[in-house]
Structure 1
Amino acid sequence: MTHGEQQGPEIVVGLVATPPDHPARVVARLTAELARGLAARVNADVRWTVREGWGEVAPRRDGGVEALLEDLARRRVDDQWDVAICLTDLPLDAERVPLVAQTSARRQVAVVSLPALGLHQLRAVRAAVPDLVSRLLTDASDQRVPPAARAPTEMARRIPAVHRVVGEADAGERRYVASGLIGRARLLAGMVRANRPGRALLGLSKLLVGAFGTAAFALTTDTVWQMGDVLGVLRLSVIMLLGLTALVAWLIVAHDLWEKPDRQTPTELARLFNLGTILTLTLATAVSYVVLFVGTALVGLLLIDRSVLEQTLQQPVDFTDYLTLAWITSSLATVGGAIGSGLENEETVRAAAYGYHPQPDGWGDVKDGHPDSGR
């Protein structure tokens, strides 16, 4: 993509998404506007050309950021890009804190970890990538652009995820790192964002069908009505939490979503993957529970006459009694939902695992706007 019809020297910037899942969507959005941003913020007298491409479906984990930088450097040379930026959903770390980005002037490449940016990832990369490109060209003494106007430390003031910059004096090998506690909380939120909990929710449609079937049966049982009346808020809350926990555990075990450390996956990375998977499934099942609760409450109001419920409970009832009935019924129905989840498409459910990346449709790399074979 070329910015306008500008004349002058051309600088080619490569954007690589690895894996081609969530990062590819961010790259596609960024590619459409990056040339204008580079012209406005780096140098308007340069013809900026932005190429986008896909990286590996399952990027290398064992070497961390260095493995990504080396792979990206080879890609930059092969494709004859001036600089290359990799956007990845791999959680990276440096000095035991989340790594937001790392630049290498020697290799003319940079890597950005999307999860470390938190929830507003597109907004953050819009602000960070032009600065990273400018910094790489400045550190390489590229005469086609003026020296970077902003110091590297300014990213820490403009991008909330960046806490400090490490290695400023090291010939362009810089790491932009997050803070400890807040940075890890932002990283986990970003992992859930990258894992697309909405996809997990839609993928568990049969779970909801099974749960609704169980709830419909339970609503016709007066024993359940009496249980809801006798149990207090605390016990109902415990039953709900146990049901949701059991459902998440069942999904993980039944569909083999647990990431095990091995030679390619360090223990800390496997722990982060598993935490991301648990949080994604917890959010998806919690939303499913809310949908089930609302649906059960509406069905209860329509089907169970107030006089019948009063006769069974032997006391006056109001709207809160119907909500209590929906509460106990929905909690019990999550067991039926777990059974229904066993009928889900394996590929759909496994997509909820953070470390799993299905091969996308139309798999193939993109070079100069033309699809090529995957790398």
Structure 2
Amino acid sequence: MSTAAPTGVSILLVADPGLPTRRAHAVKEDLQALLNDSYHPPITVHVVTETLRLRPDHTLDLSTAVDLSEEYEHPDAVLLLTEIPRLTDGKPLIAEIFPTEQVAVVSCPTLGAFASLHRILHVLMSCTLRMKPTAERRDPTGFDRRWTQWSEVEDLPGHLALHSRATTGGVRTVCGMVAGNEPLRTVPTLSSALAAASATGAFGIFYSSIWAMSTYLSTPRLLGIGVLAMSAMIAWLILSNGLWDRPLRAGLARTVLLYNLSTVLTMALCVAALYLALVLLILAGGLIVIAPAYMADIIGEHPSFTTYLDIAWLSAAMGVVAGALGSSFDQSTDLRRLTHGQRERQRRYSEG
């Protein structure tokens, strides 16, 4: 007598607010299609937005997932998609399965910044197949990647962890954290910095001494001045907003290092975008305002497009320094929610 096939599968996908939620909605249809290929109908996938909380000892609090499971009539698997970068034994922890609660936690940053939707989809399927095997016992390793490895945690049968390699996984995690910080969405919050930078950079259009200096300086020196100005603004924004994290204990040193690297790279992208916008604005203004014949009288040679670009580049370097100072006087500019370390503090329950 043949065994009856399962009547279906119900999945509850719970995602952190922001980028994880958008990714969850983006993969929902593809996830349902893969589930249709593996399980018998009916197939249901619910997507819910909820912040995954942390206990004071930095361990995950799964009570929210358990409560949601009861609310959705105990689905076959609860998949938690979080922006928390997790590490164990120095290796990035991509996913972890808790068999008692029928919960799997997937960390978005550990999957990197590129092809992340495809990777998230496959990890979700890999976790689901391990928590609820199909009637035909489909092999879940088909959704695994060569740089990942499942291992069993010793405390409980069925408690599984998916790790990536320590070296390449660390780079991938930092890139994923930078993507999670969404630096390009942060640039508009630096409007005060852009205003101060534009006002200062505009002097380069009207002061002939800056024209002469930009013409005299070599290209490598001009590039060095721009890099130095951007580095100064990055350092100022990080220090003035308290974005540099320090480990509270030795065991968190590697995790905090990832936080700080992602913060520096995120701010570098923000400042680079601001600098590029400033160069384009000043270049457009210079081409409109400065007559070529008048500039030729000042610098002693016929100006080219490169001459205008050099003026814009040097003026922008002056502007970003003023922009860093201007951002500190804008009470509405709050960069503390930009970084993973600061957002993680908002997840923790208070001691006591």
Q: TM-score, normalised by structure 1?
A: 0.80
**Change in CA separation of 1:269 and 1:357 when aligned onto 2, cut-off 3 Å:** same
Alignment match, 2:124: 129
Are 2:204 and 2:312, in contact at CA under 8 Å, matched by a contact in 1?
no
**What are the within-5 Å matches in structure 2 for residues 136-155 of structure 1?**
136-138=131-133, 145-152=134-141, 154-155=142-143
Equivalent AA in structure 1 for residue 111 of structure 2: L
**What are the within-5 Å matches in structure 2 for residues 267-282 of structure 1?**
267-282=253-268
Alignment match, 2:189: 203
Deviations along 1:35-81, whole A, 9 cap, x unmatched? 333112x21x23222233333376447435xx25x446634654423
Are 1:72 and 1:84, in contact at CA under 8 Å, matched by a contact in 2?
no
Alignment match, 1:26: 23
Give the Cα separation in 2 of the matches to 1:49 and 1:174: 24
Partner of 2:264, secondary structure, is helix
Percent of aligned pairs with the same amino acid: 27
Deviations along 1:107-154, whole A, 9 cap, x unmatched? 32211110111122222122221221111113xxxxxx31541243x3
Count of residue pairs the alignment pairs up: 338
Alignment match, 1:298: 284
**What are the within-5 Å matches in structure 2 for residues 1-375 of structure 1?**
9-18=7-16, 20-40=17-37, 42-43=38-39, 45-56=40-51, 59-60=54-55, 62-64=57-59, 67-68=60-61, 70-71=62-63, 74-75=66-67, 78-79=70-71, 80-119=74-113, 120-138=115-133, 145-152=134-141, 154-157=142-145, 162-167=147-152, 171-262=157-248, 266-346=252-332, 348-357=334-343
Give the Cα separation in 2 of the matches to 1:22 and 1:121: 11
Give the Cα separation in 2 of the matches to 1:59 and 1:32: 30
**Change in CA separation of 1:148 and 1:337 when aligned onto 2, cut-off 3 Å:** farther
Unpaired segments of 5 or more residues in structure 2?
A: 347-352
Partner of 1:322, secondary structure, is helix
**Change in CA separation of 1:73 and 1:207 when aligned onto 2, cut-off 3 Å:** closer
Give the Cα separation in 1 of the matches to 2:164 and 2:79: 19
Are 2:52 and 2:82, in contact at CA under 8 Å, matched by a contact in 1?
no
**Post-superposition offset of 1:284:** 1.2
Unpaired segments of 5 or more residues in structure 1?
A: 1-6, 139-144, 361-375
Give the Cα separation in 2 of the matches to 1:219 and 1:270: 43
The two structures, once aligned, show a CA RMSD in angstroms of 3.0
Give the Cα separation in 1 of the matches to 2:290 and 2:160: 66
Deviations along 1:86-106, whole A, 9 cap, x unmatched? 111111113312121122334
Deviations along 1:302-336, whole A, 9 cap, x unmatched? 11112222222223332211111111111111112
Partner of 2:144, secondary structure, is helix
Equivalent AA in structure 2 for residue 74 of structure 1: V
Deviations along 1:266-302, whole A, 9 cap, x unmatched? 3332322222121111101101111111221121111
Equivalent AA in structure 2 for residue 329 of structure 1: S
Alignment match, 2:349: none
